[in-house]
Amino acid sequence: MVKFEKIKSVKKHLKICLYGAPGSGKSFYALGFKNCLVLDMESGTDLYCDRFPEALIFKTKSFNEVCESVDELEKNLTKLNVQTVVIDSCTVLWSQLLDSKLDSKKLKLLRSNSKANLDSVDLTFNDWGDIKRRYNSLITKLCNLDANIILIGRVKDEYEIKNIAGHQEISKVGVKFSGEKDTPYALDILFRLECTSDGKRYAIFEKDRSGTYPVGSRLENPTYKDFQSILDRYNKGESEVKQKIEAEESSKDAEAELNKEAKLREMFDWFNNCNTTLELKTISDEIEKNKTMFSTSDLELLRTEYKRKYKELTTNLVLAGNNGGR
């Protein structure tokens, strides 16, 4: 049964996605958060050991090891006293997932044919579906942790193709986040870090669900303290409801769909084999008992079939009565 509710204030952690060019201070900014743990895929923490001696790190280049780390944090976050989890960077995380999928296909082909042409191996539509499911499941698990989340990304140029005097020319129109393109949708705050010639850093905001920093606003030398007001504002509500894992929900939906189809077939077979109006009433009761599993269109089909069968049975009774009276 679907239950609609009013929006409630919930206790929130910061969920930030930031990106920028090399040297823009991305890792430095993230390490400034309290009780920080960094899943370091770029060795970006190497030169900060003296400035952030309390920070925890785990170095890896493996997507699977990042998944294992998040699973470990689900169980031991409080024990480790971690308040902020950082992935540095999710650009590398995404590329490693793609590479591992392609490499596994090549390895499988080589095992079946040692002389196979590996240049012909590419990712299929089904492969992309599997890749997206794995990535989205990880991001959802990460966002469900009882901690601040920071995803660091690289920057890439954004181009536009223009038709000039009959010729197509490519021109740079700006920069954008480099990585799985839907990643910023999963986070509440998105900004780009830039450095000016005088050594100042600026956060240019592209998204802030809290409404604290308007789109396009610039914040000079951003630190953890600049976001404390957001935490204070959302620190008194109910506990945040954990997001459901898309792959798991898809499996549940698929199973429910199969169960519904089986039940529909059962009902129609029952209609076809029904011989009395009393049995037809039993079928109607069974449909009523299970009506929540059917869609509106399914119920309409069942009603139509019920009427057809009822007409058939009552017509046969009338004919039988007429024949008996002769």
pLDDT classification of 206: cutoffs 50, 70, 90? very high
Kindly state the average pLDDT of the residues 20-46: 90
pLDDT classification of 243: cutoffs 50, 70, 90? low
Please state the pTM of the whole predicted model.
0.71
Output the CA–CA distances (angstroms, integers) from residue 48 to 11, 18, 32, 101, in the order listed.
Answer: 31, 19, 11, 33
pLDDT classification of 205: cutoffs 50, 70, 90? very high
Taking the C-alpha atoms of residue 22 and residue 31, their distance in angstroms, rounded to an integer, is 16
Taking the C-alpha atoms of residue 69 and residue 62, their distance in angstroms, rounded to an integer, is 11
CA neighbor of 18 nearest in space, from 159, 208, 197, 225: 208
Residue range 135-174, pLDDT digits in tens: 999 999 999 998 999 999 999 988 888 887 778 888 888 8
Computed over every residue of the chain, the mean pLDDT equals 85
Q: Which residues pair with 94 in a beta bridge?
A: none
Residue range 72-128, pLDDT digits in tens: 999 999 999 999 999 998 999 999 999 988 888 888 878 877 777 777 778 888 888
What is the pLDDT at residue 197? 84
Q: Are 253 and 261 in contact (CB under 8 A)?
A: no
Cβ neighbours of residue 154 closer than 8 Å, sequence gap 6 or more: 19, 89, 91, 178, 179
Enumerate the domain spans of the chain: 12-243, 248-324
Percent of the chain, pLDDT > 70?
91
CATH class of residue range 12-243: alpha beta
Percent of the chain, pLDDT > 90?
37
